[in-house]
Amino acid sequence: MRPKWFIPWLILNFLAKIVINIKIYGRNKIPKKGRVIIAPNHTSFWDPPLIGLAANREVFYLAKEGLFEVNKFFAWLIKTYNAIPLKREKGGIGAIKKAKELLKKGLCICIFPEGTRSKTGELLPFKNGVSLLAIKTKSPVIPAYIKGARDGFLKWMLRKRKLIIAFGDPIYPKFFNNKKLSEFTKILRENILKIKEFVEKNKEV
C-alpha cells in the first residue's frame, strides 16, 4: 500500500473496531500482490469504501463520471482515493479498457457484478463484465458479500445493526474462455450466495 492509502486505512480500521459493530471475514483470501478483481454485492454507496476498509491491500474503483461533478472537494477526495472516472458508453467498452490497464499493472480493482445497486438488498441478475475482464486479463476473482451497508452510519454507531464484510476463495479463470462467460458468471454468483449463507449463519456471532 502507498502511504496515502495505508495511513488512512490503518486509522480507519482502528476506529471502526471501536466505533461501529463490524466483522470482517476472509481478508487473508485476497492476494497481497498481483492483479485481482474483488466482486461484491452492491446495495449502498457505502460499498466501495467498505471494501477498501476491509481489504488487505490498496483498491481501485471505476466510478461514474458524474460523481466527479458533484463538487470540487468531493471530486478531489474520490480521485485521491483511487476512483477512476469513466463514461458509460454503449457496451461499457471504456470501462473494460480502463480496468484492463489497471490489472495489467498488477493492481486490485473492485467491480460490482450486478452493475447497479440493488434497491431491495437481494442479489440482482449478474452481468458478464467481471467474467469477461477476468478471462481476458487472467485475473483471479474474489467473491465478496456485504451485509448491513444499507442500514447506514448512525445505526452502525449506535450498534443497532451489525456490519459484516466477507471474502471468499479466489475463482481462477484459466479453464474458461469467451464462450464460457455465462458459466463463469454463474459460478461467481453461486460463490457469493454461499458467502451470503455463511454470513447469515454468523450474523449474531
**What radius of gyration do the chain's Cα atoms show?**
16
Q: How many domains does the chain have?
A: 1
**Measured between alpha carbons, how far is 190 from 205 in angstroms, rounded to an integer?**
24
Least confident of 61-75, 110-124, 136-150: 61-75
In a domain, 16, yes or no: no
Amino acid at 48: P
The tens digit of pLDDT for each residue in 72-127 reads 877 777 777 788 877 665 555 777 788 899 999 999 999 999 988 898 889 999 99
Domain around 66? 3-10+21-201
* Residue 174 or 37, more confident: 37
Residue 71 lies in a domain: yes
Cell numbers for 193: 450466495
CA atoms 50, 54, 55, 56: torsion sign: positive
Q: What is the pTM of this model?
A: 0.89
Is the residue at 132 inside a domain?
Answer: yes
Instruction: Using a pLDDT cut of 90, give the percent of the chain over it.
Output: 48
55 belongs to a structural domain = yes
Across-strand partners of 171? 141
Question: What is the spatial distance between Cα 150 and Cα 31, in angstroms, rounded to a whole number?
Answer: 28
